[in-house]
Chain A
Amino acid sequence: MADPPLEEAIRLEAVYKAFVPRGRSARPLLALEGVSFAARPGEFISLVGPSGCGKSTVLNLLAGLTRPSAGRVTHHGRPVSGVNTEVGYITQDDNLLPWRSMARNVEYGLELRRVPKAERRRRVREFIDLVGLTGFEDHYPHELSGGMRKRAGIVRTLAYDSDVVLMDEPFGPLDAQTRVILQDELLKLWDLRRPTVLFVTHDLVEAIALSDRIITFTCRPGRVKREYEVRLPRPRDVFHVHDLPRFRELYDALWDDIRMEIAAT
């Protein structure tokens, strides 16, 4: 097989994933069926589809937390084997360490990468400042609001500068207003280094506002249904993106896709 072209950050090739649920008479479930797609470096891709369609499984495969039952998952052309510590992973729960202050949480990934202390402190201060959390460095996660915890979780991952960032419905538990504000902040943070982002979401507005490309999934077993190039200019104004004609057009097309899949479940 020829080497994949270098301008590819990640690729899934005919990936299948089967799960055997716990329980005696449980039969294996197919979560993914022949999923193939690739992402260019710096591309922001959203994965949308009905609940349980295997979108999160795609992220877990790229993070190396689970292995494909068949097919290939590659990161810069190399197959992912074992936990992939070169990607950043942001989950729906903020998963901040409750026993570390906010700043020490942001520092954690840098510590694991053995970044020298002075450099660590500088980066932590810079990122905390970027999301307006200055003054809350010594607060424990339980002392922060949901939006603040989410901001801390995001900069904790961005601070160690992975070239691929996986985000699994990161704004799911937030209220509608905080959500839009964080979408705006995320785009600004992303623009600093432009990592490749795979963003799983249920929210079509969010997918359009943030992404370069949107991939829709079928209901289980998850297959790639269609890909959409968003083609909205950047930098984007997430607060007014709905006013653009292109937004309406995309939203209707996406919703038709998803509605059919939800009807099929």
Chain B
Amino acid sequence: MTIPDAREAAGPGAAEVLAGAASGAGAAAARERLLVRSGIALLGAALLLLWEFGAPLVVERRYVSAPSEVAARLAGLVLDGELWGHVGVTLGEAGAGYLIGIAVGLAAALILVSVPALDEIAGPFLAAFYSIPKIALAPMFIMWFGLGLLPKVLLAALMVFLIVLANTVAGVRGIEPGLVEVARVMGARGGRLVRTIILPGAAPAVVASIRLTFSRAMVGAVLGEFIAATQGLGFLIVRSSRQFETATVFAGIVVVAVLVMLVNAMVRAVEARALPWCAGGARG
């Protein structure tokens, strides 16, 4: 009597089972995607409808405007060209402040971690600086640096600088000590150690902080424009609110939010290309 070969037992072959599992998993994932997307669309539509038709029942319409009015106002601002001037000014201020804040934050962090005990000495001062609400500094910045672009750029830079500084220091401190030891025994030191171990080791934390801080740069720029400006989205929002043009206020807010999301998506795309070893990218 021979023992039957298990491979010849009745039933589907391995290839069929695998194909079945793959198509099953694919279908389940597609169903889930559809569910999420339709959920987002439904919730968004419900919120807009509530705003359009529900809010006027509770509050007078001129205080809260309505999605249809905001959309019309937005279209008007785009068509008469007024919007682009404001967008350009605010993006310029926020962008310049963003880049300055990142550069200064990175440099300061590297100095802080490379001089022994310096970050402990600087610690209390930085903590105090963190706890100042930056909004309190905005009027002073206008006083010191005038009514032009400079105070807005500096406010944006300040907002970014502190976050990048803290995250870079934490990123460097978080590098696996064994990695540094092994690299040193292999002969890495000085600038090469910084370039080949410290910078890439801290990169995920640094890049996550860079991605998250563009919204803060926008806050800095818009805040400066609130206090004193003749152009920019912050100026548009403040001027419209003083004139009870609620629809324009909301249009400005929508534009700020869209700009932040666009830049975030761009930075995320750059991040995925620059740090391919972080599966799924760094989260901060």
Residues of the A chain whose Cβ atoms lie less than 8 Å from the Cβ of B188: 112
Given the contacts A98-B277, A108-B196, A84 and B185 also touching, CB distance less than 8 Å: yes
A163 at the interface (CB under 8 A from B): no
Residues of the B chain whose Cβ atoms lie less than 8 Å from the Cβ of A157: 186
Of A65, A85, A98, A142, the contact of B187 (CB 8 Å cutoff): A85
Residues of the A chain whose Cβ atoms lie less than 8 Å from the Cβ of B187: 85, 109, 112-113
Residues of the B chain whose Cβ atoms lie less than 8 Å from the Cβ of A44: none
A window 142-196: CB within 8 A of B: 142, 157, 160
Given the contacts A140-B276, A142-B277, A142-B279, A95 and B179 also touching, CB distance less than 8 Å: yes
Proximity string of chain B (163-201) to chain A, C-beta cutoff 8 Å, 1 when within and 0 when not: 000000000000010110111111111001000110011
Residues of the B chain whose Cβ atoms lie less than 8 Å from the Cβ of A109: 186-187
Q: Assess the A65–B196 pair: CB atoms within 8 A.
A: no
Residues of the A chain whose Cβ atoms lie less than 8 Å from the Cβ of B279: 142
B158 at the interface (CB under 8 A from A): no
Q: Assess the B200–A99 pair: CB atoms within 8 A.
A: yes
Q: Assess the A140–B277 pair: CB atoms within 8 A.
A: yes
Residues of the A chain whose Cβ atoms lie less than 8 Å from the Cβ of B184: 65, 83, 85
Residues of the B chain whose Cβ atoms lie less than 8 Å from the Cβ of A83: 184-185, 189
Q: How many A-B residue pairs have CB under 8 A?
A: 58
For A160, give the chain B residue with the smallest CB separation: B186
The CA of A160 and the CA of B184, in the complex, are separated in Å by 14
Of B179, B185, B189, B275, the contact of A97 (CB 8 Å cutoff): B179
Interface size class on chain B is: 20 to 34
The CA of A192 and the CA of B158, in the complex, are separated in Å by 58
For B200, give the chain A residue with the smallest CB separation: A99
The CA of A99 and the CA of B178, in the complex, are separated in Å by 15
Q: Assess the B203–A65 pair: CB atoms within 8 A.
A: no
A93 at the interface (CB under 8 A from B): yes
A63 at the interface (CB under 8 A from B): yes
Residues of the B chain whose Cβ atoms lie less than 8 Å from the Cβ of A84: 185
Q: Assess the B200–A85 pair: CB atoms within 8 A.
A: no
Given the contacts A112-B192, A140-B277, A93 and B178 also touching, CB distance less than 8 Å: yes
What distance in Å separates the Cβ of A161 from its nearest Cβ neighbour in chain B? 12
Of B176, B200, B203, B276, the contact of A95 (CB 8 Å cutoff): B176
Residues of the B chain whose Cβ atoms lie less than 8 Å from the Cβ of A141: 277
A window 53-72: CB within 8 A of B: 63-65
What distance in Å separates the Cβ of A235 from its nearest Cβ neighbour in chain B? 29
Residues of the A chain whose Cβ atoms lie less than 8 Å from the Cβ of B196: 97, 108
A window 69-96: CB within 8 A of B: 83-85, 87-89, 91, 93, 95
Given the contacts A140-B276, A140-B277, A142-B277, A95 and B185 also touching, CB distance less than 8 Å: no
Residues of the B chain whose Cβ atoms lie less than 8 Å from the Cβ of A64: 185
Q: Assess the B176–A89 pair: CB atoms within 8 A.
A: no
What distance in Å separates the Cβ of A114 from its nearest Cβ neighbour in chain B? 9
What distance in Å separates the Cβ of B189 from its nearest Cβ neighbour in chain A? 8
Proximity string of chain A (102-137) to chain B, C-beta cutoff 8 Å, 1 when within and 0 when not: 000000110011000000000000000000000000
The CA of A113 and the CA of B189, in the complex, are separated in Å by 12
For B193, give the chain A residue with the smallest CB separation: A112
Residues of the A chain whose Cβ atoms lie less than 8 Å from the Cβ of B200: 97, 99
A window 10-31: CB within 8 A of B: none
For B279, give the chain A residue with the smallest CB separation: A142
- Residue among A63, A99, A109, A157 with the highest chain B CB neighbour number at 10 A: A99
Q: Assess the B182–A95 pair: CB atoms within 8 A.
A: yes
Additional A-B contact list (10), CB under 8 Å, known A93-B176, A100-B277: A64-B185, A65-B184, A85-B185, A89-B181, A93-B178, A97-B179, A99-B277, A108-B183, A112-B188, A160-B186
A-side residues, CB < 8 A to B, are 63-65, 83-85, 87-89, 91, 93, 95, 97-100, 108-109, 112-113, 140-142, 157, 160
Which 4 pairs, one residue from A and one from B, show the smallest C-beta to C-beta distance?
Answer: A112-B187, A85-B187, A99-B200, A89-B185
